[in-house]
Amino acid sequence: MSGGLKVELGRRYRFAASHRLHSAQLSPEENFRVYGKCNNPYGHGHNYVVEVSVSGTVDPATGMIVNLADLDGFVEREVIDAFDHKSLNEDVQAFRERVPTTEYVCVEIYQRLKHFRLAKLERVRVEETSNNAFEYAGEEIQDRAAVRQEGKRQ
Amino acid sequence: MVYLTRKVEFSASHLYHNPALSAEENRRIFGKCNNPHGHGHNYSLEVTVAGEPDPVTGMVLDLKELKEILEREIIQRMDHRFLNYEVAELTGQIPTCENIARAIWNLLEPKITQGTLHKVRLYETPDLFAECYRNGAPAR
């Protein structure tokens, strides 16, 4: 067998929020073409599910990677309090510059949780609806807008 | 490589208590899971086996065989049991989701001879689960 055994803990959280998909870099026609009804100027909402996976050593005294109360408290403070019953576009600073697609919601949640000191954040999965899910594990994000601008200049 | 996952469920009771800690510490760390009479869950177990399909049967392993291994090794041991007192593999451990998942990995790994055990995911509730896999194995 290759490496030792790795143990992860996974926990699911929920928040409800509204958003509107609209890119300042696109014309009104392009925005409507790309985002369709998600471009509705008044926005719309979802019940999001956030699945957080952390890893670490299982403490023999407690049988735990991390005490759930500590993980829950951290996720509540960093993510749920900031996102639940909010307009992602208006109320979350990161989405004043970035379109709040669930790809970027997933990345933003990862950025907020990666500083957790009691266990290692492995990945974040966000379900926008029961049919759409996104996962991010800290990989480098290529700035495609910059790539597109670069392409236009050439 | 193809990954095959089979799901089984079992119901069991447990409690969290470390005799090396004081009563107050036990209550502080484990909260209501420290109730001396225990409490129970419907556990849901997902077992993933990795392998190449046999060119003759098209199977990574015979599902019926996997079902029998899970029945014999896990269900008969853990279903409708008090995990602290009735499961030898958990003796001396706090039966958290992490420790149960690891005990299940250790029980299953030597029994799976067609393909290799890739991942064990154990749900204690729909919102809480633990996962075991080999370091370096691709997460999936």
Confidence tier at B140 by pLDDT (50, 70, 90): low
Judged by CB atoms closer than 8 Å, whether chains meet at A58 and B135 is answered as no
ipTM of the complex: 0.88
pLDDT of A2 reads 53
Q: Which carries the bigger pLDDT value, residue B112 or residue A145?
A: B112
Q: Express each pLDDT in A23-48 by its tens digit.
A: 999 999 999 999 999 999 999 999 99
- Residues in chain A, pLDDT under 50: 1, 153-154
**Rounded percentage of chain B residues whose pLDDT exceeds 90:** 95
Judged by CB atoms closer than 8 Å, whether chains meet at B135 and A9 is answered as no
CA angle, A8 as apex, B5 and B113 as ends, to 5°? 40
pLDDT of B113 reads 94
Which CATH code for domain A8-153?
3.30.479.10
- Compare all CA atoms of chain A with the CA of B135 and give the residue at the minimum distance: A3
pLDDT of B136 reads 82
**What residues 51-110 of chain A have any CB closer than 8 A to a CB of chain B?**
53, 58, 60-65, 67-69
Using an 8 Å Cβ cutoff, are A136 and A102 in contact? no
pLDDT of A141 reads 83
Identify the three-state secondary structure at position B4.
strand
Burial class (CB in 10 A: 0-12, 13-18, 19+), A70: middle
A128 is catalytic: yes
pLDDT of A148 reads 55
Put simply, whether B129 touches A (Cβ < 8 Å) is yes
Pairing between β-strand B128-134 and β-strand B116-125 as defined by DSSP bridges: antiparallel
Judged by CB atoms closer than 8 Å, whether chains meet at A7 and B96 is answered as no
Put simply, whether B33 touches A (Cβ < 8 Å) is no
- Compare all CA atoms of chain A with the CA of B20 and give the residue at the minimum distance: A61
Put simply, whether B44 touches A (Cβ < 8 Å) is no
Domain ranges of chain A: 8-153
A40-46: Cβ within 8 A, 24+ apart: A43/A18, A43/A19, A43/A87, A43/A89, A44/A18, A44/A19, A44/A20, A45/A16, A45/A17, A45/A18, A45/A19, A46/A16, A46/A17, A46/A18, A46/A19, A46/A128, A46/A129
Rg over CA atoms, chain B:
17
Q: Does domain B2-14+42-132 have CATH number 3.30.479.10?
A: yes
Give B117→chain A minimum CA distance, Å.
Answer: 10
pLDDT of A1 reads 44
Q: Express each pLDDT in B113-124 by its tens digit.
A: 999 999 999 999
In chain A, residues with a C-beta closer than 8 Å to the C-beta of B126 are 12
pLDDT of A117 reads 97
B73 is catalytic: no
Q: Which stretches of chain B are DSSP H helices? A: 23-30, 63-70, 76-78, 83-86, 97-108
pLDDT at B134 over 80: yes
In chain B, residues with a C-beta closer than 8 Å to the C-beta of A12 are 126-128
Put simply, whether B115 touches A (Cβ < 8 Å) is no
- Exactly one of B9, B25, B39, B80 is catalytic; name it: B80
For B15-80, strand residue ranges (E) read: 39-51
Rounded CA-CA distance B38/B83 in Å is 10
pLDDT of A136 reads 97
